[in-house]
Structures are given as C-alpha cells and as structure tokens.
A and B are shown apart, each in its own frame.
Chain A
C-alpha cells in the first residue's frame, strides 16, 4: 500500500467518523449551551412570539422579500445562489451519493452531473465575488479581519478542489480528491466553532429579533 492510498484510506475512513462526530456533537453542544445561557436572561424567553418569529424567518429566507434584499440586487442574488448551492450541491451530488451507497446502502435523489458542475462553479464565483467585495467595499473592508478571509477560504476550497478533481485538472486525480475530502472535513469541523455557525444561529437570532419587533408592533423585514 503506497503513501497516497494510506492517506486516502485515513481521510475516507476514520477521519470521516471524527468529522461527523465533531460536527454534529459540536453543533448540538453549542446550541444547547447558547439556549441554556439565554434561559438565564430575563428578557429573552418570556418575550418569544412564535408568530412574529416565523414571519421574520420566512421573510429573510425568501429572496427579495425584505427591504434590504430588494435594495441590494446584486448582493442578494449572489448570496442566495451561493448559500443554496453550498448546501444543496454536496448533499445531492451523484458521487457523494455513491459513497453513501457503498458505505450504508442508502441513496436518494441526485443532481445531473452538468447541473452540479454549474452549481459548484456558482459557489466558486460567489466566493471570489465576496472576496472582491470584502476588499473593495469600504464599509466591509473596515470590519474585515483575517478570520473573515479564513472562513471564506474554508467555504471556498472544498468546492474548488472538488471541481478540479472532477475535471482532473492541475494535480493528479488521487491527490486532488484527498485534498477535496480533507477541505470538506475541515469545513464541517469548523462550522460549530467559527462564525460559520451562523447557519444554525440564524434561526435563533431571527426568532429573538422577530419576537421583539412583533412586540413593538412593527416589522423587521
């Protein structure tokens, strides 16, 4: 067994288990921690208004449904395409489904190869667009730190390496696939412990602010 195969076996085998354990366990731990902290505050839980919260979440999940989404057409388009592709592509990719099938014999609906390719490209382009925005927009540049570029890179590299591996570009397929798996695992591990956690916190913060605005009898979208 050569060096590459042993690395491949590691990132494909035990490290995947570690990744999912950390991702799922870490996310549950973080959410539990935050919610139990919020219970200690006098003004968070007694003021939860589920109707207002649900309205607020829905309005911000639908493209162009809130005023700020409408005001910034380009940014809204990019950010919605980016987030949808970021979540949907890995889950419904054919090759990932084959991996599930090989391991546990489960499979589900998959994207056509060409569509998945375009969606990956959208993520890559959106990441570059975010990077450019971070550098050239003054109000964003003023609040950008190395951690912001880091979390952008964490989201960027799994898709870049996946795209390159699929088309067998630059590096040999096996090396690229190892890099792809590794970056993907880094991303999953990073979600609970970095600001990528906004994927979960979105619902909590919107619930809180949606309830607040419902109490003030106004809208927050």
Chain B
C-alpha cells in the first residue's frame, strides 16, 4: 500500500489514493529537468493574466460538489471524492493559484496524472453543474501547463510528436499513404468492377479523411469505405498531400501550434480540391 505524498490534502488523509500510479517515462523522467523558476514562469504564462473563461469559473464555483455525479471516473471508483471534477480543479489549478505558481516538480507530476489519466475532457460535468461552468476548459489549461513543461504521458507525447512531424498520428510518410491507397484499390478490385479510390480528384463532392490508424493498421476500414462509396455512387476523393489524418491528438495536450496546423491543413486540402463536403471517420 503506497500513499501518495500530496501535501495539499494532508488534512484529508482519508481521501488519499491507496494505489500507486503506474510508472510512465513521460511523467517520471521529465520532472527531473524541471526547476522551480521554469515551473513558475510557465504557470504564470498560461493562467497568470486571467482570461475571462478562467476568471468566471474561479469566481463563480460555489464548491457545491454537484458535478461529482457526472464524472465516470468518480462513479467507477466507488464515489471517491478525489475523482470529482471540482476536486480535480482543487488539486491542480486552485493550488497553483493559492501558491502563486510556486510549486515543485512532484506537484506538476501529480497534476499531469490527474488531468491526463483521470479526466477525459468529455464535458459531462458542465451538463451537471448548475452554473454550466466550463471545468474541462480549466483542465485543458492545466494540461497546457504540463505540456509546456514536457510532463506528459509518454504515449500522448509520442502522438503529438508524430502530428508535429508528419501531420498524422502514426508516423506515416506521404509515400506510404499514397502506396496504401493504391494497393487497397487493387485489392478492392477483386470484388467490385471498376472500383476506384480517387486521389486528389478536383471538384469532387465528398473528401474522405480517415483516422491515422486506418491506412496503417486498420486497412479493412479503407476498403469498406471505398466499397460503400462505390456502391452508393458517391463522387468522392482522398487528399494526395499531407494532412489527411482527421484525428487531432495535439488538441488533447492543448498544443496550440500543432492542433492549428492540423485543422488548417485539412481545410487547405478541401479548398485545393474544391470539394463540397468533408466526411470524417468517427
């Protein structure tokens, strides 16, 4: 039994987690490079000049705990109060503001654990809050602080790096993408006559944008979409240039630069091919 050292809820000893978190290189190793000055500077840069949305949540929340029932983490952990949405704000952003950004690396690691691994940013708490407070926005801001400090679970950081480098989440180059589309077209030809996966067809009606995993590991999805489009007689296309991946993993880290590049790229492809509609997987 390991009790985490959370200095900020020392007086609530019965609420402390009884289980040690899973080890993660992204959290355990990155905090070793943090300095108090760096942490303070980052926190002040993100939430120092209070924006209207942060200010409203902080000034309105009456700590009533009515959001707790909304959270699947709270419900599936035997109503442990530390999983309630408001408790997540209390353990992260309220504490940062109370200590004016002067927190240690261990605290940032706990924040990263809370906002990345115990919250799905699903907005259900906003549906249960009597004031409709945007709690997930606050969680997102804490995620941004953790991201800027580099304290992010390894897998999420890897996906973000993939997006930043190749603009898709599976490290797929443009050659691989085109190749995948072409051999899938050949394969599909075995079942359907004249079936096509049109690449870069200008003026098409629909542009289909898959998830990164589909051309990489779930190729049967591409196959099925091609067959559906063929039978339905839809005038469709897929982009031949980068930015075909409609997933946006950078958004979950609040990596603003990469998430804007992805969305801008998708729309630029749409404008280039003058398509009328975008069809996204999921």
CB 8 Å contact bits of A37-66 with B (1 = contact, 0 = none): 110110010000000000010001000000
Cα distance A198–B207 when bound, in Å?
Answer: 46
Cα distance A143–B151 when bound, in Å?
Answer: 26
Asked whether B65 lies within 8 Å of A44 as measured between CB atoms, the reply is no
- B132 at interface (Cβ–Cβ under 8 A)? yes
Asked whether A68 lies within 8 Å of B65 as measured between CB atoms, the reply is no
Asked whether A142 lies within 8 Å of B52 as measured between CB atoms, the reply is no
- B131 at interface (Cβ–Cβ under 8 A)? yes
Task: Name B63's contact: one of A44, A56, A138, A140 (CB within 8 Å).
Answer: A140
Asked whether A198 lies within 8 Å of B131 as measured between CB atoms, the reply is yes
Closest chain A residue, CB of each to CB of B53: A41
Residues of A within 8 A of B46 (CB): none
Chain B 63-85 residues near chain A, CB threshold 8 A: 63-66, 68-70, 74, 79, 81-82, 84
Residues of B within 8 A of A142 (CB): 9, 12, 15, 81-82, 84, 87, 90
- A208 at interface (Cβ–Cβ under 8 A)? yes
Asked whether A205 lies within 8 Å of B128 as measured between CB atoms, the reply is no
Stretch with Cβ within 8 A of A (4 or more), from B23-31, B54-62, B178-186, B270-278 = B54-62
Asked whether B52 lies within 8 Å of A72 as measured between CB atoms, the reply is no
- A145 at interface (Cβ–Cβ under 8 A)? yes
Cα distance A37–B128 when bound, in Å?
Answer: 26
CB 8 Å contact bits of B84-98 with A (1 = contact, 0 = none): 101100100000000
Asked whether B56 lies within 8 Å of A201 as measured between CB atoms, the reply is yes
CB distance from B170 to the nearest CB of A (A): 28
Count residues of chain A with CB under 8 A from any CB of chain B: 40
By secondary structure, the B interface counts as: helix
Residues of B within 8 A of A153 (CB): none
CB distance from B57 to the nearest CB of A (A): 8
Cα distance A68–B65 when bound, in Å?
Answer: 12
Closest chain B residue, CB of each to CB of A202: B131
Asked whether A204 lies within 8 Å of B81 as measured between CB atoms, the reply is no
- A25 at interface (Cβ–Cβ under 8 A)? no
Cα distance A198–B12 when bound, in Å?
Answer: 27
Cα distance A139–B87 when bound, in Å?
Answer: 8
Given contacts A197-B60, A220-B126, contact A34 B131 (CB under 8 A): no
- B133 at interface (Cβ–Cβ under 8 A)? yes
Cα distance A44–B64 when bound, in Å?
Answer: 25
Interface size class of chain B, counting residues whose CB lies under 8 Å from the partner chain: 35 or more
Asked whether A209 lies within 8 Å of B133 as measured between CB atoms, the reply is yes
Asked whether A209 lies within 8 Å of B126 as measured between CB atoms, the reply is yes
Residues of A within 8 A of B128 (CB): 67-68
Asked whether B63 lies within 8 Å of A148 as measured between CB atoms, the reply is yes
CB distance from A195 to the nearest CB of B (A): 6
Residues of B within 8 A of A44 (CB): 52-53
- A141 at interface (Cβ–Cβ under 8 A)? yes
Task: Name B59's contact: one of A38, A56, A197, A220 (CB within 8 Å).
Answer: A197
- B130 at interface (Cβ–Cβ under 8 A)? yes
10 A-B residue pairs with CB within 8 Å = A34-B56, A38-B52, A41-B52, A44-B52, A68-B69, A72-B66, A139-B79, A140-B64, A212-B126, A213-B126
B residues sitting closer than 8 Å to A (CB atoms) are 9, 12, 15, 50-53, 55-57, 59-66, 68-70, 74, 79, 81-82, 84, 86-87, 90, 126-134
- Excluding A37-B51, A142-B90, A209-B129, 14 further A-B contacts by CB distance (< 8 Å) are A34-B55, A40-B52, A67-B127, A68-B66, A68-B69, A72-B69, A138-B81, A140-B64, A141-B12, A142-B81, A145-B63, A195-B61, A208-B132, A221-B127
